[in-house]
A and B are shown apart, each in its own frame.
Chain A
Amino acid sequence: MMVWVKRISLLILTLAVFIVGVTYLFWMPSPQEAPYQLVKTWGGKGEKPGQFNEPTGIALAGNEIFVSDSRNTRIQVFDLDGNFKRMFGEQGDAPGQLNRPMNLTIAGDELYVAEFFNDRIQVYGLDGKFRRSIGKAGSAGGEMSAPGGVAVNADGELFVADFFNQRVQQLAADGRFIRQWGTTKKTGVLDGRLNYPTDVAINSEGVLYIADGYNDRILAFGPDGELLHRWGGPFAMNIFGPFNSWFATVTGISIGPRGDVFVADFYNDRVQKFSAEGEFINAFGIESTAPTHTAIAVVEADDGSVFVADYANHQVQKWQPGE
């Protein structure tokens, strides 16, 4: 009897070690490059130029960085060393005015701003001059409920993370509805459903990446709409955690100049870097000492520097690849 108990115990132990080993190998990958180095931060809480009150989005055009300064209801522009250049936007709901700008995208010579409170996408020239507005409040095709992010493809079509409508919409440049991912107003992890999508990005091949916020995962769809990749914890099934390639609420996503995918992993206070296919490459960030968290949006420059909108500390972080 004792022999059987020992054998069964040994079998259970062996199985446990095997499962832990497989889990470690497949779902906790190691970094593929040297650690990133934090080289600079700038900002701090306030209303003066160069200060922030809850930065929530970041984008880059040439040698200029655009930051959503959400509670100050403005966009601020800096050079790559953090020197303030200009700002625009004022609180309101008239064309050109802002209310809680979130994730940003730059396409050509235009800045696209997802406006959480005004339920629309606003488009500005890089000089800050208002050009047009797309969408209005609602849940019909082309309408929005608290858009969190936007991407633009080579044809000028928009992809909008329609946060409270639980979908990502593809819209023509004039705002006409084309199609959507997710089921309007229905959350879920299966059957193509989303769970509070926060941001989107599109690469040069036309692959759409969705930050499926509260499902703690990334979904990648080809130009025909088919699912190509998904990742984030075991089976990308809304299992959150602090390990490499796991997430705890993804709030921002962007594609770097070399096609890498950068994800703001908010509750883990870090950015994670992946290949276009979702293979883990690296992770870096500043742990939060505040009641809230740090990395909310991210963008990579041509020279490999990575800029992070740091929500908890009301600042921008600048990172560079390690040697």
Chain B
Amino acid sequence: MRIIQFVLIITLVGTGYSFAAGTRYELRVDGLACPFCAYGIEKTFIQTEGVESVEIDIKNGLVIVNTVEGIKFSEDKLITIIDDTGFTMKSMSVKPR
């Protein structure tokens, strides 16, 4: 019985997690030290549909974009968004949340 409960809990937690999960994009961008630049990128992503939150990691030169469940961005779209703010995306990594 305990085994069934355990499996049930793990299944529910796992299912819940996957329902809540979006995607985390870590975009490497040079020149984030200036707030005019960093705020511009942050503002543009906040206004992009499907974005849940944006963080700027100045120390590591990263723009971290978290999307809502079911939303994924292509690399081209992310490059375009960064380009529109006057910067160039150097690289990116994608992680499930």
Which A residues lie at the B interface, using CB under 8 A?
54, 56, 70, 100, 102, 116-117, 146, 148, 163-164, 187, 196, 198, 213-214, 249, 251, 266-267, 291-293, 296, 311
Contact = CB atoms under 8 A, between A and B. Distances in A.
B33 interface: yes
Contact of B40 (A70, A163, A251, A296): A163
Contacts, number: 45
A196 B33 contact: no
Contacts of A267: 33-34
25 contacts: A54-B35, A56-B35, A70-B39, A100-B39, A102-B36, A116-B43, A117-B43, A117-B46, A146-B39, A146-B40, A146-B43, A163-B40, A164-B40, A187-B86, A196-B36, A214-B86, A251-B34, A251-B36, A291-B58, A291-B59, A292-B33, A292-B58, A293-B34, A296-B35, A311-B35
Nearest to A70: B35
B86 A196 contact: yes
Q: Classify chain B: how many residues form its interface, as a range.
A: 10 to 19
B22 to A, nearest CB: 22
Choose among A146, A187, A293 the residue with the greatest number of B CB atoms under 10 Å from its CB. A146
Given A116-B43, A117-B43, 9 more contacts: A54-B35, A102-B36, A117-B46, A146-B39, A196-B36, A196-B86, A198-B36, A296-B35, A311-B35
B50 to A, nearest CB: 19
Contacts of A311: 35
Contacts of B35: 54, 56, 70, 292, 296, 311
